[in-house]
Structure 1
Amino acid sequence: MNTTPWWDYVQRVTNNAGGVEIARKADFDPSAVSRWKRGDPPRWDFVLKFARAYNRNVLEALAEAGFITKEEANLHEVRVGIEDIDTIALLEEVIRRQPR
């Protein structure tokens, strides 16, 4: 058996549960878990199903499976829309942009 970061993650998350139990909980065939145990990489859709079944962050799981980097998984980009700006700040910005 070739241990991989993905398999180590699966074992940590499931507390070393058996393949049939993991597959049943995540709603996929146990053969997928057997392949992971042998060191085969998971399919991305199985990674998502696994993460959701075990209430884990899907980005964390995708990083552990090697689909994205851990840095990408930790990105938290927040876009602010105009409706999110308070009225005073919006008016100050309008005044600032007025030609002199």
Structure 2
Amino acid sequence: MADRTWWKYVCETAGTDNQSTIAARIGRHPSSLNKWPQGATPRVESVRAFAEAYDRPILEAFVAAGLLTEEEARQGP
């Protein structure tokens, strides 16, 4: 997943959902997603909400967002 961008991950995960639908599902205003397609790093809370809304592992989403490396995500407690 290292070559993926956050927005590509969002689009692949959300399927046919548009930006407004994604925002509604994660409980955010659509304008809070406006910079994601340009490569902006999302807020931690938005990444967590996205993962939960689309039933994806939180660590997977954090890696896709660039908030964790794959190595960090694999580390145990």
User: What is the TM-score with the length of structure 1 in the denominator?
Assistant: 0.67
Stretches of 4+ aligned residues off by more than 6 angstroms: none
State the structure with more CA Rg: 1
* C-alpha distance in structure 2 between counterparts of 1:8 and 1:44, whole Å: 17
- Structural RMSD (CA): 1.6
- What displacement does 1:40 show? 1.5
1:26 and 2:26 aligned: yes
Distance 2:16 2:39 in 1: 16
Larger RCO (CA within 8 A; separation ≥ 6): 2
Cα distance in 2 for residues equivalent to 1:37 and 1:15: 15
Structure 1: stretches of 5+ with no match in the other structure: 79-100
**What TM-score do you get using the length of structure 2 for normalisation?**
0.85
Counterpart of 1:64? 64
What residue in structure 1 maps to residue 5 of structure 2?
A: 5
Which of 43-52 and 32-41 deviates more? 32-41
Q: 1:23 to 1:56 in 2, by over 3 A?
A: same
